[in-house]
Chain A
Amino acid sequence: MTQTIDNRFGEFGGQYVPETLMTALDQLTTAFEAAKQDPEFQAEFHRLLNEYANRPSLLYYAKRMTETLGGAKIYLKREDLNHTGAHKINNVIGQVLLARRLGKTRLIAETGAGQHGVATATIAALFGMECEVFMGKEDTERQQLNVYRMRLLGAKVNAVTSGQGLLKDAVNAALQDWAAHPDDTFYVIGSAMGPAPYPAMVHEFQSVISKESKAQYQTVAGKLPDAIVACVGGGSNAIGSFAAYLDDPSVRLYGVEAAGQGVASGKTAATLELGTPGIFHGMKSIFLQNQEGQIAKVYSISAGLDYPGIGPEHAALQATGRAEYVGITDEEAVAAFEFIAKQEGIIAAIESCHAVAYVQKLAPTMRPDQSIICTLSGRGDKDVASIAKYRGEEIHE
């Protein structure tokens, strides 16, 4: 699905932000459109992806998982092996190159689990730029390791106490900071959300995931895979995992949301299963909200998925039926965290383990001549302590 000239994906998208930010968005749109066509920008982007971020990432055949589950062959797209340990760095490199073109000297970012904050702090260090990361206070407490990482990289971490102290509140604070400093500051949005051109921009920079996986799978199997599975919070790794297959209708696309304690429990972040259309964080999309439009509280064990909205392109992909969105509970995700560790020797991020848990359900329903590519969006070192706690064991890092 391409973003149309009016900044929409179907009925979703748009630029619902205060006037103070509109000039900055106009400049960003112009710079982004130019960069897409500029061979010099593209060369620099891909050079950094390859030489600094360790791309291309592996497409790994998970033989033991495949045998255990019985059914489709399972391939893992290893974004967890990127520098900084997640897919987030792909997008950050692209956006920070744009920030430099625009002459901005200060980077700000929101972060949930901390992976996008770490990626932004990393590239800020690489380019010698000032960096401030907004992170919900609750998230700073459950992701202390990433908070320290960001500080080690030279970033200032601002613990946001408003609201629930979660990702949504971090986005609010980052938008407010940007509105106060639109001239020198570039807001590096970490997910496929926010006002145009961010969703299209994140799509563009993260599409390297599926461009690679498509070519890699072609080399291995000489055909297209049958299904792509990726976890969805705001939706950046999922849109990157889907992008190259959007026009290949035989490839089924699955986005896996965090159902928390269950879709019906009231403690969930399953936006596309329970949400309704709304306007928030610069975009028209689907949100968890009450009948009158107050944004809902969300819950998930995963600090990277507990967001009450979703990027507008995903809302549109659901509306057209091109992609399917399913929920995985905390319990299922934690079981998948343990499963993939023991089966494949991979400690994957709890976010990614939502996708793994869905693969556990999907693979047995498919034939052995079919294949699934599951994106491991990040590595799970950051989650070890909280998973231990979930299982009733207190460990100190």
Chain B
Amino acid sequence: MSKLREVFKNHKAFIPFVTAGDPSAARTVASVVALAEAGADIVELGVPFSDPIADGPVIQAAGLRAFAGGITVNGVFDIVAEIRKQTQVPLVFLTYANLPFKYGYDAFCRRCAALGVAGLVIPDLPAEEAGEILPFTKKHGLDLIPLVSPTSGSRLAKLVTDATGFIYIVSALGVTGQRAGFAQNLPDLIAALRQVTDAPLCVGFGVHTPEQARELAGLADGVIVGSAIVAQAAAAGDDAPAAIAAYTRDMVAAVRQAEVDA
């Protein structure tokens, strides 16, 4: 069983996101360690890309701060190496396709595996194109995490075929960022996915309050939060690790409460 799949064996998961290198490598390491200590089940680490078309303004701004701090792809790997000295929390990368493509899919996946990165989320690599990286994620034991959208419709079975880790359900249309509500067909989408896969289902895009996390965790197996954490970290400055850890404790409690609700 994949390392990511094991996370979901006993409970629902809370998965926070931070942009690697925002605003520095040291801050990212401290933040990820703090998130792990606060109970994050998996941490999603964004690899900054010059043109992040799936991301809203908050995560775009985080990428710009990371570039201002001199982040590179190898710099992100160095951050992971530092994180691994302090915590074994499962990590997944959020990266746009061009970065692993230029690094070389084989070399990128090998480096991830060597550092204990368990999976990849690649928003601009849909099922139709995933075949070019899948041989390498499989070779190195990584999970390629498929994204499913409220518009996926008849495509669901195709999307989950190679889901060895979890499935990332995009809860709303458009880009990442806080929202008041989610796609109306979300419960139906989750029910339809349950018909075609046993993979854990995690919901992200727009989640920010514990109430939302509790509600979504009631439907799904995990909740992913990005922009809300990135925004809090940016506002807290040097106190970011403590601030996002406190928030994570609340969100983990909300997700766990959903298990009790069930």
Chain A interface (Cβ within 8 Å of chain B)?
Answer: 7, 14-24, 26, 162-163, 168, 172, 175-176, 179-183, 276-282, 284, 287, 289, 291-295
Contact = CB atoms under 8 A, between A and B. Distances in A.
Interface in B70-119: 72-74, 96-99, 101-103
Given A15-B126, A17-B124, A176-B175, A278 B152 contact: no
Contacts of B181: none
Nearest to B73: A292
Interface stretch (B1-9, B19-27, B143-151, B230-238): B143-151
B170 A292 contact: no
Interface of B: 49-51, 53-54, 60, 67, 72-74, 96-99, 101-103, 123-129, 146-155, 159, 170, 173-175
A279 B96 CA distance: 9
A277 B104 CA distance: 12
Contacts of A24: 151
Given A14-B129, A172-B53, A179-B173, A22 B152 contact: yes
A179 B175 contact: yes
A383 B127 CA distance: 43
B53 A175 contact: yes
A293 B129 CA distance: 18
A22 B155 contact: yes
Contact of B50 (A15, A17, A20, A295): A295
Given A18-B126, A22-B151, 6 more contacts: A19-B149, A20-B170, A22-B152, A280-B98, A293-B49, A295-B98
Given A22-B155, A24-B151, A179-B174, A168 B51 contact: yes
A163 B55 CA distance: 13
Contacts of B151: 19-24, 182-183
B129 A19 contact: no
B174 A180 contact: yes
Given A18-B149, A19-B159, A294-B50, A181 B99 contact: no
A13 to B, nearest CB: 10
A247 to B, nearest CB: 29
A17 B173 CA distance: 13
A33 to B, nearest CB: 16
A18 B54 contact: yes
10 contacts: A7-B128, A163-B50, A163-B51, A176-B174, A179-B53, A182-B151, A292-B73, A292-B103, A293-B73, A293-B99
A18 B152 contact: no
Contacts of A17: 124, 126
A183 B149 CA distance: 13
A129 to B, nearest CB: 20
Contacts of A284: 101
Contact of A180 (B60, B74, B129, B173): B173
Given A23-B151, A280-B98, A293-B102, A16 B175 contact: no
